[in-house]
Amino acid sequence: FAPAAPAASARGAPLAAQVRKVGIVGGGTVGGGIVEILERRREQLVAATGGVGLEVKAVVVRDAAKARDWTAPPGCVVTEDLEAVLGGDRRGSYGPVDFVRSGGDRFAHTGDDDVDLVVEVMGGTTLAKDVVFRALRAGKDVVTANKALIADCLPEIEAVVAEANAAQGAGAPRVQFGYEAAVCGGIPIIHTMNTDFVGDEVTRLRGIMNGCTNFMLTKMEAEGLSYADCLAEATALGYAEEDPTLDVGGFDARSKLAILVRLAFGVDVDETLISCTGIAGLETIDFEYARGQLDGTIKLLGVAELDGAGGLTAYVTPALVPRGATLASISDATNAVEVASRNLEASLFVGRGAGRFPTANSCVSDVVACARGALPEPFAKKVGGVAFRSDFESFFYIRIRYRNAIGIVKALGEICARHDVSIDSLLQKPHSDYFVVVTEAGPRSRVEKVAADVEAEAWCVGDVFFMPVATQE
């Protein structure tokens, strides 16, 4: 596939010498944004692709009769029929590239209308998997924002991309797979990890990887809004997943972390083995202790680090973040990823992690790279010899609600001693039903045992909540 040199249009902008026919599966928050950007930036994108026009031929939705907050461009159908996008076989070729002038600067194909680039932005891991795999097997490039799907079956996707390329035959273009939007929305972290760290050795990744929950935590802390109100607002703004349990349960961040682990460390980790705690257990009192007693705030973090002894730990959890740490200042739907590495030492990537245009922007970047035949290989090579460990070490914050009794501190001390957990400090706001224990550094598994034993005490009310205390750097 060799794009021809662009000609100039009457308005001075380059004209499409060839056309990539794009089919989008999903016309919601992200899909609508992609349609809008491709239309708004049509001429500039022809220049960016080196003369290849991007024509959206079909947008597949669940309910074609539903009113949309975006407009289908001329020549594009909005349909419930997946065949409009998946039909046809593009193996070995991108098909005819002839076009005729059809009005303005828009060009239409004289040949078949089979889509040759599929953008999957419907979400889910069942039908979406069929869409992605079928498209790849038919020799179509695929761009997706679907981290749940990638984390769920990354090795399978890798195999299907390889299979699709083997079927292309000598001299035929590569079948490309792009997923920039799948991790941290608008931050170009996939491209960066795939290209800019190849000569480096990453030792730690730490970040805020879910926009919905960061938006919620920001609102809960700053405005004292309820969990339910914050989630409703995040949903209205297009940040939440169709099933918001994925956001608030930490699972969405876990999927993103699993993908980054592969790119940064060359290790495939079964994401279900990654310790994952969401934000549902947090209470107003935790923000009060974080702010008042511990000079910090609370963020949902994804962390992955080498332990220096051939092991890799990874986890998703709310964490107490010191006020002076960079991550403490990341608010609303913004995401941030800190990367510690041997050559670059400390790098920080910050940007919008969710929402229509930040996410659609990443999809469009992938579409343009596909049109230029320039998407890098999707997944960094695997390395051997790194063992994944699901337990991890940290200082911990443990919040306990209690009813008054004699000997609580003694009992707590005995429980901690039993599980080899060393107490750094005991904190209590005056006249509070709660107290907080901050531990010295130790494994999470021991703190979990302390929490279970405390919950069994007659003076303990409800569940014990615990989270790591993040380091400043």
Ligand X SMILES: NC(=O)C1=CN([C@@H]2O[C@H](COP(=O)(O)OP(=O)(O)OC[C@H]3O[C@@H](n4cnc5c(N)ncnc54)[C@H](OP(=O)(O)O)[C@@H]3O)[C@@H](O)[C@H]2O)C=CC1
CA distances from 166 to 157, 163, 179, 470 (A): 14, 5, 21, 46
User: Can you list the positions of beta strands (E) in 307-405?
Assistant: 311-322, 334-341, 345-352, 387-389, 393-401
Known catalytic membership, residue 256: yes
Exactly one of 37, 240, 264, 368 binds ligand LTNE7NMQ (CB under 6 A); that residue is 240
CB 308, min distance to ligand LTNE7NMQ, A: 31
Binding of ligand LTNE7NMQ by 337 (CB under 6 A): no
| 161 touches, from ligand X, ligand LTNE7NMQ, none (C-beta below 5 to 8 Å by class) | none
| 139 touches, from ligand LTNE7NMQ, ligand X, none (C-beta below 5 to 8 Å by class) | none
- The residues in 316-355 that bind ligand X, with binding defined as CB under 6 A, are 354-355
CB under 8 A, 24+ apart: contacts of 238-243: 238/28, 238/29, 238/354, 238/355, 238/356, 239/211, 239/212, 239/215, 239/333, 239/354, 239/355, 240/212, 241/123, 241/148, 241/212, 242/123, 242/124
Exactly one of 249, 353, 378, 468 binds ligand LTNE7NMQ (CB under 6 A); that residue is 353
CA distances from 363 to 16, 118, 239, 302, 419 (A): 20, 11, 16, 23, 48
- 61 versus 415: smaller Cβ distance to ligand X: 61
CB 239, min distance to ligand LTNE7NMQ, A: 4
How far, rounded to the nearest angstrom, does the alpha carbon of residue 290 sit from its chain's CA centroid?
Answer: 27
137: left (phi over 0), alpha (psi -120 to 50) or beta: alpha
Task: Report the residue closest to ligand X, judged by CB.
Answer: 28
- The residues in 264-303 that bind ligand LTNE7NMQ, with binding defined as CB under 6 A, are none
- 357 versus 402: smaller Cβ distance to ligand X: 357
CB 350, min distance to ligand X, A: 16
- 152 versus 241: smaller Cβ distance to ligand LTNE7NMQ: 241
Residue count, binding to ligand X (CB under 6 A)? 26
Exactly one of 3, 23, 28, 250 binds ligand X (CB under 6 A); that residue is 28
All residues at 6 or more sequence positions from 102 whose CB lies less than 8 Å from its CB, including other chains:
75, 108
Rounded to 5°, angle at Cα 469 from 390 and 464 = 75
Return the number of other C-beta atoms located less than 10 Å from residue 343's C-beta. Answer: 10
| 242 touches, from ligand X, ligand LTNE7NMQ, none (C-beta below 5 to 8 Å by class) | ligand X
- The residues in 37-66 that bind ligand X, with binding defined as CB under 6 A, are 60-63, 66
Exactly one of 158, 252, 271, 286 binds ligand LTNE7NMQ (CB under 6 A); that residue is 252
CB 361, min distance to ligand LTNE7NMQ, A: 13
Tokens of 16: 């499409």
* CA–CA separation, 197 and 203 (whole Å): 11
- 353 versus 468: smaller Cβ distance to ligand LTNE7NMQ: 353
* CA–CA separation, 354 and 67 (whole Å): 23
* CA–CA separation, 53 and 43 (whole Å): 8
Tell me which residues touch ligand X (CB under 6 A). Answer: 26-31, 60-63, 66, 121-123, 127, 145-146, 181, 185, 238-239, 241-242, 354-355, 359
Residues that bind ligand LTNE7NMQ (CB under 6 A): 185, 210-212, 239-241, 247, 252, 353-354
List active site positions.
256
